[in-house]
Structure 1
Amino acid sequence: MKKRAWISGHSRGIGSALYQLLESQGWIVGGGSRSTGVDITDLSSVEASIDEFARTHGGLDAVVHCAAMLGPRAELSDVSTEEMRTVLDVNVLGTFHVIKAAGPRFTGAAQLLLLSSSVGRRGRAGWGPYSASKHALEGLADTIAEEMPQVRVLSLNPGGTATDMRAEAYPDEDPKTLPSAEEIAKVIFDLMNDASHKSGSKLDCRDFL
């Protein structure tokens, strides 16, 4: 039986590269993104997308949560409440919505992979909203790993990758000096098929390149 995966943020960057890779490997793949009308900040929107996919294909074996926004690259003293709220709505509530919607639809030895960041493990000046949101993602990953022992939960830090988000954060950086989205997607795919990493693990994709 073919494995079934749903990917958030599947229309660009790492999410798009992973979507294409899984399809090429015979997986049944679906996803949600702004371009397909899925609003990650709206639980009903996420639930509708995941429900339709799981119902159509008889279940759900994996969810990879890639959707996120960078937000302002500024010191916290220069970040507005509205800017902070927007980032937290997308990156924290969005993660919560994906977890909440996917949980009841998982079948068998399922897995949930959440894309984190190096600044989600240690804060850095000028990254306040994004860093805070990814720290929250790490907390959600730890929590759901304990609450859903039947699902393998992995927090994955892609590291600097040649994506549009990276270019937004570092507009003067040469993307050729970074791993491509396709290279990172291959690492994620390999980790999905490597059962040696227990649920709750926090992994850096660069360690596996």
Structure 2
Amino acid sequence: MLRRGPAEREIRMSVDEAAVTISGGAVTLRTRREEVVKRIRHALLTGELKPGQRIKEARLAESLGVSRPTLRESLQQLVHEGSLVQIPHKGVHVAAPTPEELLDVAEVRVSLETMAALRLAKDPQGEAMDEVRAALDRHLAAIDSGDEVQTDVTHFELHRTIWEMSGSVTLRKIWPLVGSQVQRALSVDQATMRNPERDAELHRRLIRVIEEGDEETIVAEVRAHIQASVAEVVRRLA
């Protein structure tokens, strides 16, 4: 297992909803709501918050060291993004995406991630691609380490880097909303069919194709990369 620094302290979530807590001490940053959202997103990404699990506000607020109103604001932001759902008379739960939702998100991702990949391909030796290659290296190192938490985090970060390094202001602006849906899809993918060798090969090939710069091949590879995985997840969930 990789040794984590203070900025990467584990978020642990009890499967028993009556004991829901997130460790790591009280939130101390100036914008507490943003830090709470970040910590909950991390727990969602790593699967420590499970699809369908109820969020117990009192215990979660206590574990994070924030007030109930601050926590509620953070939860409502995540409800708005689609990561959580508000169920009448039953509180806030972790969203459990349906097969139809997963396929819909995949179609959106294909269009936007293709746009990002084609922009990156215009300068395969530039600084933006250097950042993407560095993100790939971190992901491959996490896979090799056997650390599933870091593997999931670096997987998400690699795709975020592709979007953000594309140079598109629009893609950067919409990433927070689309990224929450990507996060849910990746979490379901890993929970359903974790396969480190497959994961490593798929991402090496995706970045290699972007570096080579052939537009038709990039379009086909991005679509295959996203839709093949989602189709297999949907098949297994059926």
TM-score normalised by L of structure 2: 0.30
- Give 1 or 2: higher strand fraction: 1
User: In proportion to residue count, which structure has more helix?
Assistant: 2
TM-score by length of 1: 0.33
Find the structure with the greater CA-based Rg: 2
